[in-house]
Structures are given as structure tokens and as C-alpha cells.
Amino acid sequence: MSPTKFILLALCAVNGLIGLSGCDQLPGKPKLSDRWQPPEAEKNFKVLFTGNCQACHAGEANIGAAISMRDPLYLAVVPRDVLRKVIVEGIPGTTMPGFLKANGGDLTDEQVDIIVNGILDWGKSAQIAKANLPPYSAPLGDANRGSEVYNRFCASCHGQVGQNGKAGSILQPDYLQLVSDQYLRSVTIAGRPELGMPNYQNLVPNQPMSNQDIADIVGWLAAHRNAANVAQDVNANPGGTPNP
């Protein structure tokens, strides 16, 4: 090959490489969207919710074990600071963990805020009047009166005490151990419409539950959990006193 041809070929090769690099098109170069990023770099709400929340709290099509974060009535009553606190710290004694890195989770403060804001945005289109809604939290009510409230609003689906209704018993000790008093209250207020459970306004036609009714039924359910704990302690320590 003559020196002139060699020089021309070399110039063509250099020009080609310059052109490719200038267009960011070098062969095998990954797209920016395909490059690895650390988990804390993720800022997409849908990705964060799917990876951290959807398994228990449901997505657009699936049903989760816990209350749906798309329930408009739940979103109308839960305060933003409470929702954030639950995500950050979890709920001791239940299967809800804390998701903030400082509490053993994988999320940064910014990612927690993205999830909180995204969840609350789902409720903005529901147009639910908040004036007469029951408060998100309240002290436990009268457990004795709660039995009557249960028979009036709940027994038609969950069965009389000691029996299983078409929706199953909610007095099973294993179930009550898995849920907090606040969860029982939230489900009583918002229902589980994806499972066929109406909210507090529609359990009995034209007869919404009062704030006192809600507090009393939660108090009654909590009392059954406490009674089961005492029985378990006695069985584990026959002849002794229940553990505190």
C-alpha cells in the first residue's frame, strides 16, 4: 500500500471515530437510562411504590393483604404526618416495617416524601367532603357496647360470636395479633371495597356508624385480642399468673 493511501485510510478512520464520539453513538455504549444507579437515586413514585409498598397495599389491579393505599376514604382521613411516620418507622408488633434507612429500611427521606406525596395525590380526585368524616384516630370505646354494635353492623357478614360468617370471623386470635387497633379502626371506617366490605357509611343501608359506634367496635375487638393473650399466658404457665 502506498504511503498516500495509508494516510487517507487513517484519516478516514479517525474522522469516523470522531463522528461517532461526537454523536454519542460508539458501539456498545449503554443508554443513560440503562446505566446502573444506586438505589437512593430512584425518584420515580411508581417504581418506589411498586418496590416497597405494592406487595401488601395493592396496586392498580391486584389485591393486597392490607388496606389499599388507593382507597379514597382512607386517604381523606389519614393525616399526612401520620402516613409519613408509619412509612418511616413502621408499626411495632405488626408486619409493617420501617422503610427509612435510619430504621433499617432502604429509603432516603426524599424517597419517603415522594411515596407520601404520590399516595395522597391518588385521593385528590375523589372529591370526598371531609367535614363530617370520623377522625383518623380516637381512644378505644366501650367494649361491652361494642358487642351490640358488632351484632348490628358486622355479624351479617362475619357471623355471630363463635361462628364463621360468609366473610370469615374477625375474632380469630391469629388475625387480631397481626393487626393494630388503628388498623381495625381504619378498616372499619374505609372498609375493604376490593374484598366486598363496605365502609362505615354503608354497612347498614341508610344507617352510617357514629363516631362512638366505631370506637366501641374497635374497643370490643381489642378486648378479644387481650383476652386471647391472657389465655395464651395461662396455658404457657399453668398454675401461675399471666405475664404482664
| Domain identity same for 230 and 159 | yes
DSSP state of 192: B
Residues of the chain with pLDDT > 70, as a percent, come to: 80
Name residue 197's beta-bridge partners: 192
> How many folded domains does the chain comprise?
2
**Interatomic CA distance for residues 8 and 26, integer angstroms:** 22
Pair (179, 214) in one structural domain: yes
Tens digits of per-residue pLDDT, 44-85?
Answer: 999 999 999 999 998 666 788 999 999 999 999 999 999 999
Q: Could you tell me if residue 162 is inside a domain? A: yes
**Overall average pLDDT of the 164-183 stretch:** 90
- Alpha-carbon separation of residue 179 from 18, 93, 163, 182, 185 (angstroms): 64, 8, 20, 8, 10
Tell me how far the alpha carbon of residue 186 is from its chain's centroid: 12
Residue 57 lies in a domain: yes
User: Residue 152: which residues within 8 A CB-CB, separation 6 or more?
Assistant: 204
| 88 and 147 within one domain | no
Residue 13 located in a structural domain: no
Do 93 and 156 share a domain, yes or no?
A: no
Residues spanned by the domain of 84: 39-123
C-alpha cell at 185: 379502626
Q: Which amino acid is at 89?
A: E
Same domain, 155 and 220: yes
Mean per-residue pLDDT for 1-20?
59
Mark whether 200 and 166 lie in a shared domain: yes
- In this structure, the answer to whether residues 94 and 169 fall within a common structural domain is no
Q: Is 94 part of a structural domain of the chain? A: yes
230-241 per-position pLDDT tens digit: 555 444 455 544
Whether residues 97 and 159 share a domain: the answer is: no
209 within domain boundaries:
yes
Same domain, 232 and 148: yes
CB–CB of 70/193 below 8 Å?
A: no
Q: Evaluate whether residue 132 is within a structural domain.
A: no
> Using one digit for the tens of pLDDT, what is the confidence trace for 120-164?
999 988 878 777 899 999 999 999 999 999 999 999 999 987 677
- Tell me phi and psi for residue 192, to 5 degrees: -130, 75
Looking at the predicted structure, is the pLDDT value of residue 172 above 80? Answer: yes
The answer on 49 and 80 residing in a single domain is yes
**CATH classification at residue 203:** 1.10.760.10
Say whether pLDDT at 106 is over 80.
yes
Question: Among residues 214, 226, 219, which one has the least CA distance to residue 152?
Answer: 214
Residues 106 and 147 in one domain: no
**Distance, CA of 228 to CA of 56 (rounded, Å):** 26
Is residue 88 a contact partner of residue 96, using CB atoms and an 8 Å limit? no
78 lies in a domain? yes
> 173 near 228, Cβ under 8 Å?
yes
101 shares a domain with 173: no
**In the listed set 92, 123, 154, which residue is the last one of a domain according to the structure?**
123
Query: Is residue 26 domain-resident?
Result: no
Q: Are 131 and 103 in contact (CB under 8 A)?
A: no
